[in-house]
Amino acid sequence: MTVPEAKAPPGPGFVAGIRLVTGVHQQFLFPVAQVLAYHAPPRLDNESVNSISDGMRAFAEALYLGPHDGPPPHIGHRIRIRQGTPWLDYGDGEKRLGLPAARSWVNVVEAGGPVRILVLFDPLTASAGQTAIAEHVRECHARGAMRWGTTYHV
């Protein structure tokens, strides 16, 4: 088996604009902890919708996420919970992203449940509510502007 070449994640300036949302999807047999990642709209002179999309693609590649229309690939161990605080290893050897998570999400992950990570390429305002986020996910899915994968806590 060939190990894929490591992809470089975007730099910390870009990653600072990534928004993370967590939730628990109650499947028929077992719950799945979810992490949704999207970027805020352009706010700096050097940012555009295209540069944000490219950065989110690089973020998804660094996580080894797969196409949205296939089964979500296993992407290795990317979630850690230390002293009750969950974080995501996104491929930068020195930095991690803290995850905003309710105790119910942490419970699913600590019990060994799967974590599904979805990365959207199109920006969305940080103040978007659940309805706007759900619609944005549907739109990105319809256009193929997202990637996903499954991980577990170690």
Predicted TM-score of the model (pTM): 0.90
Confidence tier at 38 by pLDDT (50, 70, 90): very high
Mean of pLDDT values over 43-47: 85
Q: Does residue 80 contact residue 96 with C-beta atoms inside 8 Å?
A: yes
Encode 96-133: b = buried (16+ Cβ within 10 Å), e = exposed. ebebebeeebbebbeeebbbbbbbbbbbbeeebeeeeb
- Give the CA angle between residues 51, 98, 41 to the nearest 5°: 25
The residues near 31 (Cβ < 8 Å, ≥ 6 apart) are 24, 25, 108, 113
pLDDT tens sequence across 103-114: 999 999 999 999
Confidence tier at 93 by pLDDT (50, 70, 90): confident
The residues near 82 (Cβ < 8 Å, ≥ 6 apart) are none
The amino acid present at 3, given as its one-letter code, is V
pLDDT at 3 over 80: no
